[in-house]
Structure 1
Amino acid sequence: MIEPTHDVVIVGGGHNGLTAAAYLALAGKTVLLLERADRVGGAAVSAEAFPGVDARLSRYSYLVSLLPQRIIDELGLEIELAQRRYSSYTPDPADTRAGLLVDRGDTDATGTSFDRVGAAADFPAWTAFYRDTERVARALFPTVCEPLPTRAEARVLVGDDMLWEQFIERPLGTALRNRFQSDLVRGVVATDGLIGTFASVDSPDLAANRCFLYHVIGNGTGDWDVPVGGMGAVSGELERAARQAGARIVTEAEVSAITPDGEVRYRHGAVDRVVQGRHVLANVAPWVLQQLLDGHASASVRTEAAPGAAPAAKPEGAQVKVNLLLTRLPRLRDATVSPEAAFGGTFHINETLTQLENAHAQADRDGFPELLPCEIYCHSLSDPSILSPELVAAGAQTLTVFALHTPHRWLTEENSDASRDRLQAAVLASLNSVLAEPIEDLLLTDTAGRPCIETKTTLDLEHALNLPGGNIFHGPLEWPFLDDDEAPSTAAERWGVATGHPRILLCGAGARRGGGVSGIGGHNAAMAVLEE
């Protein structure tokens, strides 16, 4: 079946696709958005993960930092983000009866906590370091919804050559070792460069630096906030804005091919359909787009590659996510810190810099780390609305554990279940290494009597969300600026959304300024279309 031509066809209904649809429909464009799942939202969704248990978890992505207030305001989104008083808590692996609690509401208490873990000298260094990241954030974050600056222009915006060298030009590990003495403090800082990124902080390719930059620049502060109502509330608002503006959204629409002239083939309702778009926005990973282009890939998806270049290697994710529903928060070995404070921010487990680097080295050699580096986040402490009143009254809490340095290469279709079980056991063992009681004893059960725990591996993400290799960023992150020798000649190149085909633009996490729940890729693709 051949459908009428649309101004824009968007392939993929994740939050970036919805953002682009809303902007373009508001501008009077005819927009068709195609989503292969039975609902939109992609990784930014909420779901009842455990049968018969009234708890809607942010199943994949879970915190918000990079969504610009500008997008919220321009699209009229009613999104509430709850700030967390506590930044982080990190048990000392040398003696888990003590830990570092960073309390943004009490500077003196934070200083005392640094002293308790033998890092008193690092407290002023910590304050100065994050004062510096805020300077970089205030300089660079306003540019993410504008045409790309050049490297030289971005450097001028930062206005401090020392900071530019530390964060942009030299491996992150150099700054960590120069500015902090404590292995524990270095590790807490380093984790922002390793979320979803399989890298050493000393790698000369600066992958950790790019990841770190995106984790500290959000809205000029770097704060990571809790979406009230869960991630589904964010995507729900974007869907409402897109539909209200006039975008047509079709779910359960499996796209099978895209041509350079804007033809999109898809199947919906057991009928094969063809639609023509004056522009096609790909809210899928560049690797996936390359497969959809298939025989039409005479030019690379990435414009910075030479025409005719072979596709880049398939991306690889390196994380595992475990969602748990507990009867209550677990007790800590550290009697000086309440569980509510420890789990009120990011709870770091086995993440000293040495542990992080050793885990990466072991995993890179196809070895399984003795203790997985992990981070925990408790949504329900900041936003109990995701739980039923009965669960709230009973004291139930959610925990999300995000483990690092677990590369996709460990998983295959044949060992999927066994690998998931092994990774889940490793995550629980790492968690139990710092708790005063086994986490398994606190798990609620569903209506069938099964423990309320689910594990999402990179292979699960590949199957459920079409993320190649389970890479949550759709591929390697890129700097939010152009190199000085890059000369953009089209709107798509200026906005960082170009492919090798003029009518096809990237609009997801694989765009030049992608990664995280931000809407930036969708906004910038829409701006490129409107500019043309």
Structure 2
Amino acid sequence: MTTDVFGSDVYDAVIVGGGHNGLVAAAYLARAGKSVLVLERLGHTGGAAVSTRPFAGLDARLSRYSYLVSLLPPKIVRELGLRFEVRRRSVSSYTPTERDGRPGGLLVGGDEARTRESFARLTGSDREYESWRAFYGTTGQVARKVFPTLTEPLPTRAELRARVDDEAAWRMLFEEPLGRAVERNFADDLVRGVVLTDGLIGTFADAHDPSLAQNRCFLYHVIGGGTGDWDVPVGGMGALTDALATAARAAGAEIATGHEVLRIDTDGTAPAEVTFRTATGEGRVVGRNVLVNASLQALAGLLGESAPTPAEGAQLKVNMLLRRLPRLRDSSVDPREAFGGTFHIAEGYEELRRAHAEAASGELPSVPPSEIYCHSLTDPSILGPDLVERGYQTLTLFGLHTPARLFEKDNQGVREVLLTGTLAQLDAHLAEPITECLALDADGRPCIEAKTPLDLERELRLPGGHIFHRDLSWPYGDGTDGSRWGVETTHPNVLLCGAGAVRGGGVSGVPGHNAAMAVLERA
């Protein structure tokens, strides 16, 4: 048996998992005067929202897994008194292309006049820009109405529809495949692709997928903060989880790392018994409520129940450290602007369709789509002073349409092939190979690492390597299952506070907040 001694015989809440959602729940409950214990398997808190120094001998603290913030409600930051901030990127995106043998691209951001000019230069008229403004004007109106509901009791579909109060917008986002709206509103293939990408982040779906998984993904990507902006966490993603852990501890929560939960025994009414393992043996604690900041599969395993079939992750995550930013073939754009926003690669509408079809048939995309951004341009604090002075920069690349099934026979080999192909697509728009700009670590190795869905499953226990734990849900309930906050399970005193909850996914803290509210309402 372990010799751990905790502060309570029976906790008001035992939280399984010290990722950001678990820490949000812990902070809220402890601030409300509840006794709280967080049990974390790893030797540190943070889960996928961490910052690490992956390259030996170099003071570069990268957001290794999750890397941008949109869905974290400011009210959570405010109510928990977090010392944490995000910074807006001056450029939203840059998408390079070549037309009539000449390099060019679409720059979105800076100011309205410059964006309009970029659209006109790409398409030859103002039509696409006006369609862009109208389309995102509509999504902005929906965002301002839907985003506040994420931290309120779960609305029914009818209630949310009434709140949106725009039948055309509701049909476009909630009822018909996203591809219809994209094709109806935009004519240019590149513009169509840029719009569609927000429906494909971590989601393996076609623009016309009847499941509407792409719509749900798109919705979560355009409603964040009521604006849809994706901002840079100052100090890296680990700054958020460090602030959350500090807030939870300051409020009185206990956090025990190196404690892997093995089992939850409950009849749903009496306090639950939670069995855990440490380096010195097994132990048990008792909680009136147990909040599980893990996947639905992990929850089922802890309860000894049948686990649902996991969804499938579909992304390649690449971290790089550069000695300098590469020069672009499109000399009209400063690389600091191009990489400061989201740099889209091989993400034209037809390219995305073809990549999905190839992957669905079991083949790696012949032209792998991906997108890149440079954290250190917006927030140089993640680099040591010496690296900043020498002009070093980070790059984060996120590849699309690479489902876990493609890596099952040879994860390492396929990873290398895909990485080579993805970098080749980037190089097609550069005036010099990206590999010539890579920094070298203390052992002389290039500073680049790649993570496949299988790597994420192994390292973070994400089922199928799915970054959202499962396909994203609609932000409403059906009104028939008694779910008030979207975190309830079949056991009244066991709640799901991870990304797999209704209104979960992304770095939001929403499931943690909602699980805490569910506990406090019953207190």
Answer yes or no: same fold by TM over 0.5: yes
Q: Which amino acid aligns with 1:494?
A: R
Query: Residue by residue, what CA displacement relative to the aligned partner does 1:343-362 show, whole Å, maximum 9, x if unpaired?
Result: 11000000011111110111
Matching residue of 1:417: 412
Of residues 225, 243, 255 in structure 2, which corresponds to 1:237?
243
- Residue 450 of structure 1 deviates from its aligned partner by 0.3
**Equivalent residue number for residue 495 of structure 1:** 485
The 4+ residue runs of structure 1 with deviation greater than 4 A are: 93-96
Alignment-derived partner of residue 286 in structure 1: 296
The alpha-carbon deviation at position 168 of structure 1 amounts to 0.6
Matched, 1:334 2:344: no
Corresponding position of 1:24: 29
Alignment match, 2:75: 70
Per-residue CA distance 1:6-57 (angstroms, 9 max, x = gap)? 1111111100000000001111111110111110000110010100001000
1:96, 1:333 within 8 Å by CA — same for their partners in 2?
Answer: no
For residues 352-363 of structure 1, the aligned pairs below 5 Å read 352-363=348-359
Which deviates more, 81-90 or 417-426?
Answer: 417-426
Unaligned runs of 5+ in 2: none
Cα pair 2:364 2:418 within 8 Å, conserved: no
User: Could you tell me which amino acid in structure 2 is paired with residue 385 of structure 1?
Assistant: S
Structure 1 residue 259 displacement after superposition: 2.2
1:440 to partner: Cα distance:
0.5
For 1:307, the equivalent position in structure 2 comes to: none
Contact 1:193 1:215 in 2 (8 A): yes
Give the superposition deviation at 1:422: 1.9
Q: What is the aligned partner in structure 1 of residue 389 from structure 2?
A: 393
Q: Which structure 2 residues correspond to residues 32-47 of structure 1 after superposition, within 5 A?
A: 32-47=37-52
* Cα drift, residue 93 of structure 1: 4.8
Do the aligned partners of 2:364 and 2:406 also contact (CA within 8 Å) in 1?
Answer: no
Shift of 1:65: 0.5
- One-letter identity of the residue aligned with 2:476: F
The CA deviation at 1:283 is: 0.2
The number of aligned residues is 511
Measure how far apart 1:116 and its partner are.
1.8
Mapping 1:374-523, distance limit 5 Å:
374-412=370-408, 415-483=410-478, 486-489=479-482, 493-523=483-513
Q: Percent identity?
A: 58
In structure 2, C-alpha distance between the alignment counterparts of 1:497 and 1:93, rounded to whole Å: 48
Structure 1 position 100 matched with structure 2 position 77: no
Tell me the alpha carbon deviations over residues 446-492 of structure 1, each in whole angstroms, 9 at most, x when there is no partner: 11000000111111111111111110001111011113xx2353xxx
What are the within-5 Å matches in structure 2 for residues 139-158 of structure 1?
139-158=145-164
Give the secondary structure class of the aligned counterpart of 1:314. Answer: coil
Aligned residue for 1:53? 58
CA distance, structure 2, for counterparts of residue 214 and residue 101 of structure 1: 23
Conserved? CA contact 1:44–1:62, under 8 Å: yes
The corresponding residue for 2:360 is 364
Distance 1:328 1:127 in 2: 34
Once the two structures are TM-superposed, the CA of residue 96 in structure 1 deviates from its matched residue by 6.3
* Contact 1:371–1:429 under 8 Å retained in 2: no
Say whether residues 1:251 and 2:257 are aligned partners: yes
Are residue 87 (structure 1) and residue 92 (structure 2) matched? yes
Q: Which of 264, 286, 299 is residue 274 of structure 2 equivalent to?
A: 264
Deviation (angstroms), 1:73: 0.6
Q: Which runs of 5+ in 1 are unaligned?
A: 298-309
For 1:33 and 1:96, locate their aligned partners in 2 and report how far apart those are by CA, in whole Å: 57
Aligned Cα RMSD in Å? 1.3
Q: Is the partner of 2:70 in helix, strand or coil?
A: coil
Q: C-alpha distance in 1, partners of 2:420/2:16?
A: 37
In 2, distance between residues paired with 1:311 and 1:55?
39
For residues 96 and 376 of structure 1, the distance between their equivalents in structure 2, rounded to whole angstroms, comes to 22
Measured after TM superposition, the shift of residue 420 of structure 1 is 2.3
2:13 partner letter? V
Q: TM-score, normalised by structure 2?
A: 0.96
Cα–Cα, structure 1 residues 380 and 387, in superposed 2: closer, same or farther, change >3 Å?
same
Contact (CA 8 Å) 2:277, 2:283: kept in 1 or not? yes
Structure-2 residue corresponding to 1:300:
none
Shift of 1:498: 1.1
